[in-house]
Amino acid sequence: QISIASTIIDEVKRIEAKRLVIDSVSIMGLNMESPSKIRKLLLNIINTIKRVNCTAILTSEIEEGSNRLSRFGVEEFVADGVIRLEYSSIGERRFGVIEIRKMRRTEHAHGTFDIQITQKGLEILTDRGHTIPMK
């Protein structure tokens, strides 16, 4: 039986990828019986990706309005970084918000920041009304 991790690594090596996006971890965990099995699978995938010197971004959906960081409650513990993106609204105005909840081995900003997606890409809005483009 071929594992998900070995299939991913074969493709990463084949195309000499430096970055990998897995969208979405939520789908991978749907048929698993327990959070511990999901955690083991994710650890296997993440450690395998690290061994080939590739950076991975894994997405996970959560229910709207949830205070949780992940669908299964284990993803944030195996990841080196957790960035929460969500939409909020005030009246009829809807806006995006970004928060870095966890980032191992590096300093990072704390708190939530408004974001907007423009033709230039993702921009973080500062409290002074300036934007910081993300490249």
Tens-binned pLDDT, residue by residue, of the chain (135 aa): 468 788 888 999 999 999 999 998 888 887 887 888 889 888 988 898 999 999 999 998 888 888 888 888 889 989 999 999 988 778 888 788 899 999 999 988 888 888 988 898 888 887 766 666 665
Host domain of residue 67: 1-79
**pLDDT the model gives residue 131:** 65
Number of domains in the chain: 2
Q: Are 14 and 54 in contact (CB under 8 A)?
A: no
Please give the single-letter amino acid code of residue 35: P
Domain boundary among 35, 59, 79: 79
Residues 70 and 89 in one domain: no
Query: Phi and psi (nearest 5°) for 96?
Result: -90, 150
**pLDDT the model gives residue 33:** 79
Give dist(CA 99, CA 114) in Å, integer.
9
